[in-house]
Amino acid sequence: MPGLAVEVIDIDDPQDPRVEDFRDLNSVDRRPDLPVLPGGRPGRGLVIAEGVLVAQRMIASRFSAHAFLGVDKRLEELDDDLRDPSLSGVPFFRASAEVMAEIVGFHLNRGVLAVARRPEVLSVSDILETARTVAILEGVNDHENIGSIFRNAAGLGVDAVLFGQGCADPLYRRCVRVSMGHALLVPFAKFDEWPRGLDELRSRDFRLVSMTPDPDAVTLAEAVDAEKVGFLVGAEGPGLTASAMAATDVKARIPMSRGTDSLNVATAAAVAFYERVRSGTMGE
């Protein structure tokens, strides 16, 4: 294939050691996206992009894909993207759907995978240099919810996602997939100290808004009118901890939405992001 930056390598044997990074994607203890835990299990911490769209977003992101595995049809669909000079010499392992299924451990409808190592982590300070609207998560330990929050952040112009205590890893395969690849594109960082790290936002003139179903809270529309805003959301059920909530400037509720199970956490976040966009764009 003239013009491709990647090197296409055919794989016929599912045991081929060159495709090790794509093996046993669903295995609890061998999956390649298991994070490297401090002093704990020796995860490899690889980041897996599934499907054409998410692979494209990985190529466009700060994550450098170091290998692809896919069927011929997907290789063709990615033809334009795989000409990117940054992929020069990166292997595209081409396999049949059957061989691919044996490697990854199940039949993968999406037909293509890309894998990258984790880049340098960003710091909260790095992100706050330019951000005007950020989402701040506490105790959100469901990969699907985190993925949806990244997708909603991207769709509604939120600049970054910041992680407080008790959140799941945003670079798990399921999270990256549900985010439609936006977990690779929207910057994120983790607070070193929680909730004390919120002080940095306050010192940079962010208004910190706790999302809560509390009927005594102000409505969301009354809370977002500030140049910089950080929305805090907690896990469904328990919500934000008292100490996190105490560290914020204002509690805001979504009108009508009563009870802790009334909206999914990613949906509540989307509504908050929308209110922010709405307030900023009414004159557009």
Residues in contact with its own copies by the rule CB under 8 A: 53, 148, 151-152, 154-157, 180, 219-221, 254-258, 261-264, 266-267, 270-271, 274-275, 277-278, 281-282, 284
Q: Which is nearer to its own copies, 216 or 284 (by Cβ)?
A: 284
> What tokens appear for 31 in the block?
């999956």
Cα separation, 80 vs 16, in Å, equals 28
Smallest distance, its own copies to C-beta of residue 245, A: 21
Smallest distance, its own copies to C-beta of residue 42, A: 30
Q: How far is CA 33 from CA 37, 49, 118, 170, in A?
A: 12, 10, 10, 11
Cα separation, 228 vs 200, in Å, equals 13
Q: Which is nearer to its own copies, 10 or 227 (by Cβ)?
A: 227
- Tokens 């090197």 — which residue? 7
Between the two ends of the chain, the Cα-to-Cα distance in Å is 46
> What tokens appear for 102 in the block?
């044996």
Q: What are the beta bridge partners of residue 163?
A: 137, 190
Smallest distance, its own copies to C-beta of residue 247, A: 26
For 246, the 3-state DSSP assignment is helix
Q: Do 79 and 1 touch, CB atoms closer than 8 A?
A: yes
Q: Which is nearer to its own copies, 30 or 278 (by Cβ)?
A: 278
Q: Which is nearer to its own copies, 156 or 162 (by Cβ)?
A: 156
236-254 b/e with 16+ CB inside 10 Å = b? Answer: beebbbeebbebbbebbbb
Q: Which is nearer to its own copies, 92 or 150 (by Cβ)?
A: 150
Smallest distance, its own copies to C-beta of residue 41, A: 25
Smallest distance, its own copies to C-beta of residue 259, A: 8
Smallest distance, its own copies to C-beta of residue 206, A: 20
Q: Which is nearer to its own copies, 170 or 195 (by Cβ)?
A: 170
